[in-house]
Chain A
Amino acid sequence: MNIKEVVKRKELFTGGHRACAGCGAAIVARQVLMAAGPDTVVASATGCLEVVSTIFPYTAWNVPFIHSAFENAAATISGVEALYRSWARQKKYDKKVNFIAFGGDGGTYDIGLQALSGAMERGHNILYVCYNNEAYMNTGVQRSSATPIGADTTTAPVGKVQKGKAQYRKDLTAIMVAHGIPYAAQAVVGNWRDLTNKVEKALSIEGPKFINVFQPCRLGWSYKPELTCEMGRLAVDTCAWPLYEVTNGQYKVTRPKEKKPIAEWLKLQGRFAHLFRPENKALLDQIQAETDKAWEELLRKENIASQAAAPAQPKSI
């Protein structure tokens, strides 16, 4: 994306929306549309992004937009795209259009997983963007299957006997890769070049695409609003959220310059404050160990995939 060109264009996600100051979801929406351009139809799941951007009669969307319910952004955009196919076949429509669905982690990992899986399997020419802030922020920070272990949420709170969420988060990107879709990726708020490149690349590929954008949330994670992008980059540097893409099964991982201890990222967030009490050291160590394991596993996948993709070597007898 050429920022000098894009800046001349009209805003596709305008100001005047009611997101919190420093909201990462608004950054995701804006940057995705910067990369996609105006010939785009957007569907959104119910959630923060939809709520803050479409309070009647005010819409922040400068592209056609539809919201219908929480669990069905993928199905809704499927219907829009199906009409496009129908009209193209009937020679009623000849524009090239991007079809993008947005859903938070609640609307994507949890309640919308079935509709997402269905849409991906059916092969619609759509891009699904999950703005993943690791909890149900719109309803007040409840745990989701994207919430990491140990995080304090309102439905898995830190109490006298519990230490926040007791389970590991689900690896949705891997689940999407398992659908055999042509493109799946992880991106982050705080690296606009990477995000917009991935959106552009995704939109250049025919078929179903998925980008899981890690989105720091100042409300749910409890940090200062100006740190939203910083928090995202630190998640990448600590391998809490590795950046990678899988194109036709081929992994490409973006390595941090220097892998930092996960505690550096955790300690800046209110939701993990309890992990730094002496009695929770074991849990903190466990989180580091699991992060390392997941990172190694990702590198292994990249390695295997690249070997598999390499030209077959003649076997020696």
Chain B
Amino acid sequence: MAKGNIVARTGNEAMAEAMRQINPDVVAAYPITPATEIVQIFASYVADGLVSTEFVPVESEHSAMSACIGSSAAGGRTMTGTSSQGLALMAEMLYIAAGLRLPIVLAVVNRALSSPINIHCDHSDTMMVRDSGWIQIFSENSQEAYDNMIQAVKIAEKAAIPVIVTTDGFIISHGMERIEILDDADVKNFVGEYKPKDYLLKLEEPITAGALDLTDYYFEHKRQQIEGFKASKAVILDVAKEFAVIAGRSYGLFEKYRLDDAEIALVAMGSTAGTTKVVVDELRQKGLKAGLLKPRVFRPFPKEEILEALKKLKAIAVMDRSDSMNGHEGPLCAEIKAAFYDIGVNKPVLNYIYGLGGREIRPEDIALVFSELSEVAGGKEKPKVSYLGVRE
């Protein structure tokens, strides 16, 4: 492995860089803040002849995903990027891409959904499509965004499931960081050539993709898709192992930060996990047994593994950067609580909805959560769901 390719990159630049090295056959995309740069930078690679990709500057995100579906079904390695409303417009096609088992990779720069319209980060866009049948991988910083994009291609193709890789809008997408990139040849070798079995451009063996299922086949196809989705957890871990060999960076379904001996912990995804690590270190210095669990893979939800990591804690705070509008709690919290039910554990789990529409989350906010968590661990009652950082 080539050490020392240290560069300064924003999250968007890092993702575009990964795409250049992956050199997909087709990219079909439409601009949207804050994801625009990814495809804009990529378009400049196309213009300079640095990739052999056919770039399709479509007229909407719906058409972006539709063209990706066409390209992927035709047999090509296919990627795109979007955010927020763009993802919402794509939603119909996301379900279809997943049902057709097409290994498309989609970079999502997380941004709040309208209304009110807002361009800043929260996770409501990705959460909206959490059950679309796409693997969802969250990134904490530019380095992870880069690494996840490269792994995503391989995961998608091995599992025959499309993959979303997210970064946090502006916080990661536009934040310059020091990252290490791999040599072009290493990436090329790692992703290898995509060799689908059945595809549209194989004219001699025609296929029909997207046939109509009536009551006699739909259920079987869905069951098959669900089983494939469950099995993708193992694929994600295998690919991470292979990646560690070339990159020297290890990934799992989630990251545990000072969690093994912790008594209280936060569960947080994306850039907030980075902020939390700083707070955990400070609290540890003060003697508090604080920890963090950072889900990397939100879909498929690594239920058993997360339970195993959390079950010894005295109290847990789940940080949700979106609300479910289910009237009781955020989407990440609901998953975790449901998981505990299955092992008969009734543990104090607090849910904090935070950072909607890009509202800043500061170390002192996280410290406050930990202090409330300490009180709960000590037997005190606290509200189950709190809104962190909102004016009352």
Contacts and interface: CB of A to CB of B under 8 A. Distances in A.
- Chains A and B touch (C-beta atoms under 8 A apart): yes
A54 B66 CA distance: 19
A315 to B, nearest CB: 42
Tell me the dominant secondary structure on chain B's binding face.
Answer: mixed
Nearest to B95: A69
Bin chain B's interface residue count: 35 or more
A63 B54 CA distance: 24
Nearest to A56: B211
Interface string A104-117: 00000000001101
A71 interface: yes
B71 A66 contact: no
Interface in A70-94: 71-72, 74-87, 89-90, 93
A64 B205 CA distance: 8
Which of B58, B75, B200, B207 is the most central at the interface, judged by chain A CB atoms within 10 Å of its CB?
Answer: B200
A17 to B, nearest CB: 11
B26 interface: yes
Interface in B17-60: 25-26, 28, 52-54, 56-60
A64 B209 CA distance: 8
Which of A41, A71, A78 is the most central at the interface, judged by chain B CB atoms within 10 Å of its CB?
Answer: A78
Contact of B208 (A61, A77, A93, A119): A61
Interface string A37-63: 011010100000011001111010111
Contacts of A62: 206
Nearest to B198: A64
A51 B214 CA distance: 10
A208 to B, nearest CB: 13
Contacts of B203: 38-39, 41, 63-64, 95, 97
Contacts of B212: 50-51, 54-56, 67
Contact of B60 (A50, A61, A68, A118): A118
Contacts of B96: 68-69
B60 A86 contact: no
Given A76-B66, A79-B28, A86-B53, A54 B200 contact: no
Interface string A171-209: 000000000000000000000000000000000000000
A119 B57 CA distance: 10
A82 B54 contact: yes
B306 to A, nearest CB: 34
Given A56-B213, A86-B53, A80 B74 contact: yes
Contacts of A115: 59-60, 62-63, 66
Interface string B206-234: 11111111100100000000000000000
Contacts of A118: 58-60, 63
7 contacts: A54-B208, A66-B208, A66-B210, A68-B96, A71-B62, A79-B26, A86-B25
Given A75-B66, A86-B76, 4 more contacts: A54-B210, A78-B58, A78-B70, A82-B71
Interface of B: 25-26, 28, 52-54, 56-60, 62-64, 66-76, 78, 92-93, 96, 100, 200-203, 206-214, 217
